[in-house]
């Protein structure tokens, strides 16, 4: 428990804040992270401050929802295979599957179209995780096609939808 924060059992639902843990991978789409975090902080009921880094178990306990945006091909493969060799993959591996985990694939079109990618995305869905599909556009590398991370507004809308389904944020 954080000092000065009432125990959840004595906190009214009107005072309840939802905490979203945002996982970031090495995709070039990570450039959108400041905008994404800024827009998420505008969602009613979201956190308004950051805390010191904590271990993966503390993070999974702290968060009500996890969003991995962008999820690059490397981390997709690790998560689908159960590899947990960094803080992000450890949190995902320890994730409480009764809580929502959303992921936003982002990679080059050739990587997206590789047969392993569909298998790995299918594995994450089998774990109960929710895909926010990538989109087709001209990628930073110059290629045109599927693989770009979903637009920020699409991601924020999906987070709001999932939170409202779990008794959190009201749709506006």
By annotation, the residues acting in catalysis are 141
Take residue 58 and report the two structure tokens written for it: 């503390």
Nearest CA to 121 among 145, 146, 104?
Answer: 104
Across 20-41, b (16+ Cβ under 10 Å) vs e yields bbbbbbebbbbebeeebbebbe
Alpha-carbon torsion 150, 153, 156, 161, what sign? negative
Task: Write the CA distances from 94 to 54, 82, 87, 89, 159, integer angstroms.
Answer: 14, 10, 10, 9, 21
Find how far residue 49's CA is from the centre of its chain.
18
Q: Which helix (H) or strand (E) holds 161?
A: helix 152-165
**Residue whose structure tokens are 């994450």:** 124
């Amino acid at each position: 428990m954080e000092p000065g924060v009432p125990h959840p059992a004595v906190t009214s639902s009107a005072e309840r804040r939802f905490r979203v843990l945002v996982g970031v991978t090495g995709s070039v789409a990570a450039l959108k992270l400041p905008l994404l975090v800024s827009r998420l902080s505008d969602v009613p009921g979201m956190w308004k401050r950051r805390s010191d880094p904590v271990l993966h178990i503390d993070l999974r306990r702290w968060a009500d929802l996890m969003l991995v945006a962008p999820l690059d091909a490397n981390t997709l493969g690790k998560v689908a295979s159960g590899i947990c060799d960094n803080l992000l993959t450890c949190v995902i591996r320890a994730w409480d599957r009764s809580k929502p985990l959303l992921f936003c694939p982002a990679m080059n079109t050739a990587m997206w179209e590789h047969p392993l990618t569909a298998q790995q995305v299918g594995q994450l869905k089998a774990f109960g995780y929710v895909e926010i599909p990538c989109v087709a556009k001209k990628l930073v590398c110059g290629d045109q096609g599927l693989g770009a991370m979903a637009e920020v507004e699409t991601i924020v809308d999906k987070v709001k939808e999932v939170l409202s389904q779990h008794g959190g944020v009201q749709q506006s």
